[in-house]
Chains A and B, each alone.
Chain A
Amino acid sequence: DSGVTQTPKHLITATGQRVTLRCSPRSGDLSVYWYQQSLDQGLQFLIQYYNGEERAKGNILERFSAQQFPDLHSELNLSSLELGDSALYFCASSVGRASGYTFGSGTRLTVV
């Protein structure tokens, strides 16, 4: 157990639908990062939150949004889902880059 909890582990939904992925960071970590891993691809950075504020944005689609709540858990919302959104979505948390990220085990999203 890495200390970063992601739910659900698996999600199957239809095109056009909306889903919410949840992440609880490791205790004490203020930063939360979201990454997408498509088949045979690397980890693509989506967005970072630090203590409730958006800190950095990657190639996140406009159909996707995220937030970090006062208790530091984060949610990634994916809407108007397309087949190409099928991927593993990872959340990670950290106290700073020198300590590296701690990743959760991911949510596997399948859009049918």
Chain B
Amino acid sequence: DQQVKQNSPSLSVQEGRISILNCDYTNSMFDYFLWYKKYPAEGPTFLISISSIKDKNEDGRFTVFLNKSAKHLSLHIVPSQPGDSAVYFCAASTYNTDKLIFGTGTRLQVFP
């Protein structure tokens, strides 16, 4: 049972344009959501998070949007840079645990 889903295995975007990565979840008990970035041969690194009491959180070029009614979140990267090329994982947790449930990841490629 995949509670967190990233249905796009890959995404290719031109440098300077917007990258939009999507994530869907099924568990209505999730109340905290995070995005991680992973380069090859490295562990995932924390990027940005959002609590379910918000619908948007912004940090520099990165913005996460949460649509609770649709059980959907998205990560916007503007403008995209070649260094953003990596695998992006979304993750979620419930209020009574800090265990994170991860999606399967989306590989983003930003080309010049």
Contact = CB atoms under 8 A, between A and B. Distances in A.
Interface in B28-63: 32, 34, 36, 41-46, 49
Interface stretch (B13-21, B64-72, B74-82, B102-110): B102-110
A92 B43 contact: yes
Interface string B92-106: 010001111111110
Interface of B: 2, 4, 6, 32, 34, 36, 41-46, 49, 89, 91, 93, 97-105
A102 B46 contact: yes
14 contacts: A35-B102, A42-B89, A42-B102, A43-B89, A43-B102, A44-B102, A45-B100, A96-B98, A97-B98, A97-B100, A100-B36, A103-B45, A105-B43, A106-B43
Interface of A: 2, 4, 31, 33, 35, 40-45, 48, 56, 58, 90, 92, 94, 96-98, 100-106
B49 A48 contact: no
Contacts, number: 60
A103 B89 CA distance: 13
A45 to B, nearest CB: 6
Given A42-B104, A90-B43, A104-B43, 13 more contacts: A35-B102, A41-B104, A42-B89, A43-B44, A45-B100, A45-B101, A56-B99, A58-B99, A92-B43, A94-B98, A97-B98, A98-B49, A101-B46
A83 to B, nearest CB: 21
B97 A42 contact: no
A92 B2 CA distance: 21
A89 B112 CA distance: 33
B34 A33 contact: no
Nearest to B38: A103
A56 B44 CA distance: 21
Given A92-B43, A105-B41, A105-B42, A56 B97 contact: yes
B108 to A, nearest CB: 16
Closest 6 CB pairs of A and B: A103-B43, A100-B46, A97-B98, A42-B104, A43-B102, A42-B102
